[in-house]
Amino acid sequence: MQIGIVGLGRMGGNIAVRLTRHGHDVVLFDRDPAAVTKTHDRAEKGRAQSASSVEDLVSKISADRKIVWVMLPAGDITEACVQQLKGLLGKDDIVIDGGNSYYKDDVRRSHVLAEKGIHYVDVGTSGGVWGLERGYCMMYGGTKDSTDHIDPILKALAPGKGDVVRTTGRDKPGLDPRAEEGYLHCGPAGSGHFVKMVHNGIEYGMMQAFAEGFDVMKSKNSNVLPEDQRFDLNMADIAEVWRRGSVVSSWLLDLTADALAKNESLSEFSGEVADSGEGRWTIEAAIEESVPVPVMTASLFTRFRSRSGNNYAEKVLSAMRFGFGGHVEKK
């Protein structure tokens, strides 16, 4: 299939390259010409075209149903691009928002585009800078017609079954087989980003638990403790042993172990931890639904506090964020 991709940052560029590796053709645009050149050079030969503008990108898509994947920061930038595409695309064309947009914006945009018969698909995309090789876990919302049409694109981006042990009972009726491949149609427009939003809220809590645990262990040699209760523990070794058969083994722990093996003090991280929006939106949704989420709320507030003085726990959080998404905190 042929698809246009607007936004060639850390994830957008890799998504484009992965698609070309799986036999799809891409038209590339980014406001930074160097990003277009870099992605074009990394793509499979003959499968990428460069565009000089969004208008040029749309004109170079020759498929009967034009597909444009928008991979831009949530908010005004994405909004402006979607509105621009409304004026450039026609009936049955498809706009995909693969960023981290607020799900209520997706619902609204889907109605606006539907006025011209344009389909809108929101794709919550997880995989960070590792997605090029590992594939992307995707949760998406939109009409059945549009999501079925772009299924080859999503299948190419997804990690596939790999060597993950199959869950018992997955053969029963009503379960979507695509979930085992790492991508899932969650429902109408907005549902994909809603599920991804909650995913990131959970991620906040998991990261915070790891960070606090390592902080407790790191502080076990404190002089406020009785001398015979002080332990000088090796954080890198503990992270490594937990990766081997422990019930807390996970990709987040893998990233932590990698960072600690390089520098146990994590001195390259300031410990000032940013939040990219999804954690706040998850808590807002919980308030609307009257659902208690004390862990996620506390983890978000801890990120706020980290910006006015921080400790080892926040450095661990920063290390994990850098590991999965290339996020660089302020020095």
282-287 long-range contacts (CB < 8 A, ≥24 apart) are 282/197, 282/198, 282/200, 282/201, 283/201, 285/194, 285/197, 285/198
Residue 231, SS3 per DSSP: coil
Residue 56, SS3 per DSSP: helix
Neighbour order of strands in the sheet with 48-50: 48-50, 25-29, 2-6, 67-70, 94-97, 119-126, 137-141, 183-187
Task: Say whether 196 is catalytic.
Answer: yes
Structure tokens at 99: 């960023």
Instruction: Kindly report, residue by residue over 172-230, the tens digit of the pLDDT.
Output: 999 999 999 999 999 999 999 999 999 999 999 999 999 999 999 999 999 999 999 99
Instruction: Please identify every stretch of the chain with a pLDDT value under 50, giving residue numbers as ranges.
Output: none
Instruction: Provide the β-strand partners of residue 183.
Output: 138
In 171-269, which residue ranges form alpha helices assigned H by DSSP? 191-218, 235-242, 251-262
Out of 66, 196, 218, 315, which one is annotated catalytic?
Answer: 196
Q: What angle (nearest 5°) sits at the alpha carbon of residue 326, between those of residues 321 and 331?
A: 75
Strand pairing of 2-6 and 25-29? parallel
Out of 203, 212, 314, 329, which one is annotated catalytic?
Answer: 203
Cβ proximity of 188 and 143 under 8 Å: yes
Instruction: Please tell me the distance from the alpha carbon of residue 165 to that of residue 163, in angstroms, as a whole number.
Output: 6
Residue 29, SS3 per DSSP: strand
What element of type H or E holds 186?
A: strand 183-187
Task: Say whether 180 is catalytic.
Answer: no
The DSSP output letter for 239 is H
Instruction: Please tell me the distance from the alpha carbon of residue 136 to that of residue 323, in angstroms, as a whole number.
Output: 15
